[in-house]
Amino acid sequence: MLSVIDGIFARDSMCDGLGASLARDVRVQHPAAPRCADDQAENTMSTNRRAVLYSAIAWVMAASAQLPAQAQPTDAETDAQVHTLQAVTIKAERKPEQAQAEQALQTVAGNTALVDNEQVERGRAASAEDVLAFQPGVFAQSTSGNAAAKISIRGSGLNTFYGGYVLGTKFLFDGLPITGPGGTQEDLLSIAGVNYTEVLYGANAFQYAATSLGGAINFVTHTGQTSPGTYLRVEAGSYGYRKQQISNGGAAGNFDWYVSLLHNSRDGYQDLTDTNGRELVANLGYRFGPRLDTRLLLRYREEELINGGTLTLAQINSGSRANPAPYGRKKGGTTLVGSKTTYVFDDDARLELGVDLNNYPLYNSWRYSTTPNLWRSTDINTSVRYLRSGDILFGRNLDTSVTWSDTRLAFGDARTHDRDSWRLLKEVRYTGSRDTVLALGGELQLDASSWLSAGVSLINIDRDVRVVQSTTANTSVYPQRYALDTWYAAPRLGLRYRLTPDLQAFANVSRSIDPPVTWQISGGGVATPFARPLVPQKATTAEAGVRGSHGIFDGSLTIYRSWINDELLTVVTQQATASTDAVVANANAGPTVHQGIEAALSTRVWDGDDGSGLSLRQAYTLNDFHYRRDAAFAQNALPGLPRQVYQAELQYAHGSGFYAHLNVRAASSYYVDFANTLRAPGYGLLGAKLGYGLPSGRWSAWVDLRNLANKHYATATSTAYDLQGRDSNVFYVGDGFSVFAGASLRF
């Protein structure tokens, strides 16, 4: 079976690309790098690309046309209905807070999803990779086991290097952002204490003032109401993986509380890739009355880890676990502390006030590099959100929202030292950089079955990056200080139409703005004693799809296309060695396109009289990211992500609480350099789960088997400029055959 899957995906091919602007940046650091041709013949968009997208459009239109005519419910019935339109999980009874969140997501005229963390915890639950599995359009893979995850939605942050940051997507906890002018440090993405996760693709994250191409991911933490009592959980498995968690939640009068302590560690599949982390999650809620409540939140994490270095394909295929360039990162205490207060007015309008402080200390390359660097960042985030519903405009119901979000880098710098003498080699300061968004939106109910939504985000981007000291002379054309203070508008227009009570179609067109993060302009290390004058990435995206359920089926299908200008791209111009850091170049590209298909389908195959059942869930992603008439690479593919990803899981559940799952993940080959001369090979992985959970939820136990055939494969890549077809050390090795087991107890 695996050979068939590998064969299908290995034959997949597409056009490829980087860009003249990034090529120039490569030559600034490496004059010997190949120069771009000034004149290349332009390739037209491949027939295969059009055929796939046009077929998807035709599928949606045909499905809509064949729906049986049904009487439309009244407005009152519309308001009373609660649609459970799950995209990626077998339909199950939602907890009240999750059902309410999912209902709200289904009012968005675009692709969204909700992930129940209880379902994730039926197997290994180590990181965001486990949470975001089976989400079409979302790529989430670890580059060093359970750490250093590459996370991308619709190609956001497409080829970011994996040094502890995630780009192109806004991350939040309980609606409070952890993403700032410096991006997102991924150490808090450990999913500790998470109840459920909201995934909002692209501009569909409008409600969180997210303006990035990828959208937003909001992790919602347990409270004393959702996780009462004491909960114990242990996990252990291959390559020294261990995780222990204890939590307690409860309520007394108007108070409720939740506290969770977690420890995780891993020796690693690859040599010298050990991880050790400790985390505290806590929140305290108080209800002053039926209209006013507030909640204080805290997350604190310490972590030491060593990332695995990149290998060649020959090394991976031979089963090598070598780590020629280990990359150590130490987090001395990442802290998120904040509060969220909600007031409900007499007319049921809502006012939400949020404030949080994020402190991110990071000691990079602390273990082996001769030039380690210390990063310090402190963000202050404030947000105000006002929601109204039930107003009348032109005789129709109108819901409106006003959101203001401000993320300010109160203090930030990066200091690079000589390891032996501790002499300061370079210092970059970022203090004062800021992102501010004012989002105004509304949704008008046109009739009993259709809703028109419109909105605009006004965005102020402020960057102040200063190289205040460098022992390396700046011989580039770039300055040592770059300041940016500019405004953008990002409008959005969407339409929802209810085809049946359980099936709806949607479409939208929107604008997204991705500002450069501080360290893309100038980061740590001595190789870049200058500030690159990067500008924000701009994109216009059109999206259409259907979602819902019919009979035994429950799923969604979305197609999208983004026309991007000034895409922020990254290339590793010099790979890391055992004692030196990698050299990374960032630049704005010429016009590019991101387009694709996101499909998910859950099927109830069989139901037994004793409560048993057999179901199948599937998720398919098509990624087509390429240049548009670039001077250097014509319409080459953008490297970094598989063109196709397919996941499926056959699930058997017995009424007594026993369950057994068989799953597969298959990914196609893709280019790893902008010149499109070398590919990461496709792969197929088989896995299985066995477990038992007492129906009362008191205790559970499980075994999670991964990569049953012990396949050698690359889980992600480090993108290069032009490898000229030579096998190179740009591949991150995936774990081999793994066995994980765990148990939980609640009392």
Domain borders along the chain are 2-746
If one compares 162 and 475, the residue with the highest pLDDT of the two is: 475
pLDDT at 645 over 70: yes
- Confidence band for 90, pLDDT divided at 50, 70 and 90: very low
Contacts of 140 (CB under 8 A, 6+ apart): 128, 129, 131, 132, 133, 149, 150, 151, 152
pLDDT at 71 over 80: no
Share of the chain above pLDDT 70, in %: 85
Using CA atoms, how far residue 554 sits from 113, 296, 647, in Å, is 13, 37, 16
Average pLDDT over residues 472-500: 96
pLDDT at 221 over 90: yes
Q: Give CA–CA dist 81/684, Å, rounded.
A: 41
pLDDT of residue 308: 85
pLDDT at 366 over 80: no
Q: Give CA–CA dist 159/425, Å, rounded.
A: 28
Average pLDDT over residues 510-518: 97
pLDDT of residue 80: 40
* Contact by Cβ (8 Å): 428, 481: no
* Contact by Cβ (8 Å): 265, 277: yes
Average pLDDT over residues 449-457: 98
pTM score, whole prediction: 0.89
Q: Give CA–CA dist 185/336, Å, rounded.
A: 12
Share of the chain above pLDDT 90, in %: 74
pLDDT in tens, 698-739: 999 999 999 999 999 999 998 999 999 999 999 999 999 999
Q: Give CA–CA dist 434/464, Å, rounded.
A: 9
pLDDT at 365 over 60: yes
Report the sign of the C-alpha dihedral through residues 36, 37, 39, 41, in that order. negative
pLDDT of residue 50: 43
Q: Give CA–CA dist 713/280, Å, rounded.
A: 35
Q: Give CA–CA dist 624/16, Å, rounded.
A: 10
The DSSP symbol for 4 reads H
pLDDT at 660 over 90: yes
pLDDT of residue 341: 98
Average pLDDT over residues 213-224: 97
pLDDT in tens, 229-238: 999 999 999 9
Pairing relation of β-strands 170-173 and 215-221?
Answer: parallel
Average pLDDT over residues 100-117: 96
Average pLDDT over residues 425-432: 97
Q: Give CA–CA dist 628/388, Å, rounded.
A: 42
- Confidence band for 542, pLDDT divided at 50, 70 and 90: very high
Using CA atoms, how far residue 717 sits from 160, 162, 361, 587, 670, in Å, is 10, 9, 26, 19, 10
pLDDT at 46 over 70: no
For all residues of the chain together, what is the average pLDDT?
87
Q: Give CA–CA dist 483/328, Å, rounded.
A: 31
DSSP helix/strand/coil, 465: strand
Average pLDDT over residues 581-585: 73
Average pLDDT over residues 391-418: 95
- Confidence band for 85, pLDDT divided at 50, 70 and 90: very low
Q: Which two tokens stand for residue 41?
A: 């013949």
Q: Which amino acid is at 219?
A: F
If one compares 365 and 628, the residue with the highest pLDDT of the two is: 628
The CB density around residue 80, as the number of other CB atoms within 10 Å, is 9
CA-closest candidate to residue 208, choices 161, 173, 162: 173
pLDDT at 7 over 80: no
Please classify residue 89 by burial: count the beta carbons closer than 10 Å to its beta carbon, then call 0-12 exposed, 13-18 middle and 19+ buried: buried
pLDDT of residue 527: 86
pLDDT at 463 over 90: yes
What superfamily would CATH give domain 2-746? TonB-dependent receptor, beta-barrel domain (2.40.170.20)
* Contact by Cβ (8 Å): 232, 245: yes
Query: CA angle at residue 335 from 341 to 141, to 5 degrees?
Result: 105
If one compares 85 and 245, the residue with the highest pLDDT of the two is: 245
SS (H, E, C) 572-587: EEECCCCCCCCEEEEE
Q: Which two tokens stand for residue 688?
A: 């299985």
